[in-house]
Copies of this chain bind each other. A is one copy, B any other.
């Protein structure tokens, strides 16, 4: 392990911490942030922890015009014994570098990023809420800052990490959501940026989400961009189905995000000797399974909700109710186990949990 020099300037003006019961997602931020600059001449330089503060950019900064950005999302948890745990943070920075490669952003030093994250969380660890289901959401991101309107990769960047205490995703216990199968809009296509965690993918999805919400559905099920037949993701999560005792999830194909929760669920299922298959899945197949009474459970996976049970799909005007609209047994076991590994109440046979010391 290399020793990294990260300068730290502590805030002299600490903010008041929020009431845990009132916490929403991503609206309150802690006292400090990590920041590091990139220039062509110096590469990534000046890693530092500073008081949380506004970013000041020239109006011509490329991030405002050409969307050359990437981001990540992960969480820190406080155990009942006061330990602080991160969940697989190395995977986030490795994925960030994959996103960087697609977006022509210079790669970061992944070890430095993990180290910076640990130091930052340590400084602001009093911000991690204690109640069950709460956590400290961590948002690393890179923006292109060169004040230049030519369409070309930026010559300067900032890599920033901010922290936000978040409430339980399920305030009244884990419950299923209703999902509309998207027929008009497309999230990503082979050859595009679907596999990268970049802003444009999320801006693209807003319209479909808005239209689904009008019909009373909380997210959309995205189909592939070439044939509009094969299932890709649900909202901004990966998706799993339990069909006749077997778990299936869309295989990574270049336009699907390589979810870290997705990977953890697959490993957990294999550990339990439950059959799990990554393959191409058509929406027609899901419909047939449903008609034959074989569609037993469905859920999304992602950092924010961890597991999001799906109680209904709307497809071509027909409502496909899954497991009587209740949380499936396996879905609940996966949720309980994975959140238990994350917050330290359950054994971690995979070595995913990283304790802050």
Contacts and interface: CB of A to CB of B under 8 A. Distances in A.
A270 interface: no
A201 B56 CA distance: 25
Number of identical monomers bound together in the oligomeric complex: 2
Contacts of A148: 26-27
Interface stretch (A4-12, A187-195, A346-354): A187-195
Interface string A8-51: 00000000000000001111010001000000000000000000
A226 B52 CA distance: 44
Main secondary structure of the interface of A (DSSP, over half): loop
Nearest to A24: B150
Contacts of A147: 27, 29
Given A71-B65, A137-B149, A186-B192, A160 B203 contact: no
Nearest to A161: B59
A203 B190 CA distance: 16
Interface residues of A, number: 69
A306 to B, nearest CB: 16
A202 B57 contact: no
5 contacts: A26-B60, A54-B59, A65-B69, A189-B189, A193-B200
Interface of A: 24-27, 29, 33, 52-61, 63-69, 71, 102-104, 137, 139, 141, 143, 147-153, 160, 162, 164, 184-193, 198-207, 209-210, 225-228, 235-236
